[in-house]
């Protein structure tokens, strides 16, 4: 049956279904939900206004930030893993959907996060070794610079390289496309980095 579903003449609707399921999972605004549960206020009106873990951390609540990070990663990993049984293309479609859902959630007027945690979750689902290497890249770059966006840009930029080096060539283009999305979502951070104005990890914004 799986062979019939993913036959070339029938694959597109099923890939669209995988992407739609990924989008629904990715669009859950865990940062906003966690901030409310911890009575931190409306996350969209705090710090940078971003709905991700880095902005939650600016509230000073490390537990809430860690929980947001894990949940945002899982909403990328779970759809990918669930659709792996349908093949690599279906898993990749689910991952793309999850990223788009996080970055452009319909429930928040398509104003979502920058996608770093969800990106890492997606690539962990596609390839655990490559995903772990990307996570390590983030940790090293963020620790050395003390700037979250530097870690994010480094992890996204090198993720396609890790997939290529590990022989996961079928996913390189998808991972590269998602990495470009992460970089585009960080356009303001890149400008601040160039100007030397990017805040360090944990720094609060007015």
pLDDT tens-digit profile of 11-21?
Answer: 788 899 999 99
Domain boundaries, the chain: 2-195
| Local confidence band at 7 (pLDDT 50, 70, 90 cut-offs) | low
Average pLDDT across the chain, whole number: 89
Which tokens in the block code for residue 50?
A: 């971003």
Q: What is the pTM of this model?
A: 0.89
Interval 103-107 mean pLDDT: 93
28-33 contacts at long range (C-beta below 8 A, 24 or more positions apart): 28/71, 28/75, 28/101, 28/105, 29/105, 29/107, 29/108, 29/112, 30/67, 30/68, 30/71, 30/72, 30/75, 31/55, 31/56, 31/68, 31/72, 31/113, 32/108
Residue (of 34, 87, 85) closest to 57 by Cα position: 34
CA–CA dist 59, 45 (Å, integer): 11
Q: Element (H or E) spanning 92, and its range?
A: helix 88-103
Which range (4-13, 45-54, 119-128, 197-206) has the least confidence? 4-13
pLDDT tens-digit profile of 16-39?
Answer: 999 999 999 999 999 999 989 998
């Amino acid at each position: 049956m799986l062979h019939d579903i993913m036959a070339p003449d029938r694959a597109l609707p099923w890939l669209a279904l995988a992407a739609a399921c990924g989008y629904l999972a990715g669009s859950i605004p865990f940062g906003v939900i966690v901030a409310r549960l911890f009575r931190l206020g409306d996350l969209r009106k705090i710090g940078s206004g971003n709905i991700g873990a880095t902005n939650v951390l600016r509230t000073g609540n490390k537990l809430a930030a860690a929980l947001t990070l894990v949940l945002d990663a899982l909403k990328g990993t779970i759809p990918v893993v669930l659709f792996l049984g349908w093949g690599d293309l279906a898993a990749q479609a689910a991952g793309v959907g999850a990223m788009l859902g996080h970055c452009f959630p319909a429930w928040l007027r398509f104003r979502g996060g920058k996608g770093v945690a969800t990106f890492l979750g997606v690539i962990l689902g596609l390839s655990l070794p490559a995903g772990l290497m990307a996570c390590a890249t983030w940790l090293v770059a963020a620790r050395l610079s003390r700037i979250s966006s530097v870690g994010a840009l480094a992890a996204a930029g090198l993720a396609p390289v890790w997939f290529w080096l590990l022989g996961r060539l079928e996913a390189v283009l998808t991972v590269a496309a998602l990495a470009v999305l992460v970089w585009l979502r960080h356009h303001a951070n890149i400008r601040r980095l160039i100007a030397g104005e990017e805040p360090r990890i944990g720094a609060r914004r007015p």
